[in-house]
Amino acid sequence: MDVFCIGLIFSRDQYRYQSYAHQYVAVLLKMQKQVALFSPNWIEMNNYLLTHFKEYANRIHCFPIDDSQNISQNSNLAYLWRFLKVSRRLHQAEKSMRTKIDLVLFAPIDDWIKPKFGKKWMDWAFPFKWTGLLTQMEPYDKDGLKLNVDPRFGEPDYLFTSKNCVGVCTLDRFNFDNLRSRVYKKVVVMPDISDLELPKQKQKVSEQIKKMAKDRMVVGTILLEDENPENLLYLANSAPKEDYFFVCAGRMEPENLSENSRLALNDLLSSGKDNIYFLLHELENSEQINDLFITFDVCFLNYGTMALPQPLLTKAAHFGKPVLGSKNDMVGKLVSAFETGIAVNGQIAESIQALNILRMQMPLNQNYNVNKLSNYAQLQNQAALKDALEEIILF
């Protein structure tokens, strides 16, 4: 089928999904596609896209959609009504654009999948060809779903067998074959792509950090998804202040911090140490985030999940910054596989030892094997995204 118009439904508003939306639209426009983007913050998305892609303005259309939560616990009637509403919204968009939406991509699809719901009802309520980005891949890891069998009613991937589903996308490079063995449709690994633009002029705060750090190694993190930075705070409190300067940027609301994070923060603030810089407000502008990011020598990745890459990992690879991440989440798997830094177990002594190993290679842009970082970055760039999108839209 010749797909011309793609509907992108981004039901979450975190930085990760904003970046995906920007990059998906950019690549689809270069592929000569028309894009209908549905988002809770559709006005901001519309402003961004029309500013960055003026020459494609006639092929960009943004529409509102309600914030969506995972509704697996809701009734089947509520689920059916939700899909009828989104179908109506898509038909209205088609009328507004005067064209047919050939394929809908949900990002993530997890917000729209309910195991105990009939696929015939799904096909009736949502008569569009569709795919989606599946982020919850734990069922396909060891001791999960039985492989090489058809999904059964009540299992999390049951709706992927519906006739209107053309395939599934995932960010998980380790379990995608397990998913493919069950759905018997295309399974495409999507790059963990990120916004990578830099501002035309360097920010004053970035210059200030370099001055404060002097000749010390700068170890920094940016809180983009409500992470708890307890390990970074403990590390900053224990690492030699004459060797390391720490940066923690992003919103850090007390009510959202874990008990350990609050204790670590109190210990650090009462220690009188002057080798940490806090930038305690939410960072939303990607250009400013990236400019701050390149002041780091090493990127510290806060503890994440086994389901998703940490959102700074792609930026680190692109800007040539080795990472210090946890062995106990997706970061550990990726760092070990692609050798983009050092994975640690969260113990302070091991983390300090890892920093010492990296500090002995300063300047890192000359002595660290940046080819490994470059290799990972190439897997997450627009060329990789174009390949993935081309694969999923050919059906």
How far is the C-alpha of 172 from the C-alpha of 170, rounded, in Å? 5
What is d(CA 119, CA 107) in angstroms, rounded to the nearest whole number?
Answer: 20
CATH tag for 204-379 (out of 3.90.550.10, 3.30.470.20, 3.40.50.2000, 2.60.120.330):
3.40.50.2000
Averaged confidence pLDDT in the chain:
91
- CATH 3.30.160 assigned to domain 5-193+381-393? The reply is no
Express as a percent the part of the chain with pLDDT over 70.
Answer: 98
**pLDDT by residue (tens digit) across 150-182?**
999 999 999 999 999 999 999 999 999 999 999
Which comes out higher in pLDDT, residue 19 or 226? 19
Q: How many Å is the Cα radius of gyration of the chain? A: 22
Burial class (CB in 10 A: 0-12, 13-18, 19+), 57: exposed
Question: Which position has the higher pLDDT, 380 or 327?
Answer: 380
> Stretch 272-290: mean pLDDT, rounded?
87
Mean predicted confidence (pLDDT) in 354-372: 89
Domain with CATH 3.40.50.2000 in the chain: 204-379
Q: What is the pLDDT of residue 67?
A: 58
- If you ran DSSP here, which 8-state letter would residue 247 be given? E
Q: What is the pTM of this model?
A: 0.94
Q: How far is CA 233 from CA 221, 239, 282, 289, 328, in A?
A: 11, 10, 18, 20, 18
Q: In this predicted structure, what is the pLDDT of residue 283? A: 80
Give percent of the chain above pLDDT 90: 72
How many CB atoms lie under 10 A from the CB of residue 298? 24
Instruction: Give the C-alpha separation, 182 to 193, whole Å.
Output: 26
Indicate if the pLDDT at residue 365 is higher than 90.
no
Instruction: Tell whether the model's pLDDT for residue 381 goes beyond 90.
Output: yes
pLDDT of residue 73: 54
> With b meaning 16 or more CB within 10 Å and e meaning fewer, what string describes 237-250?
bbbebeebbbbbbb
Nearest to 389 by CA among 99, 49, 31, 60: 31
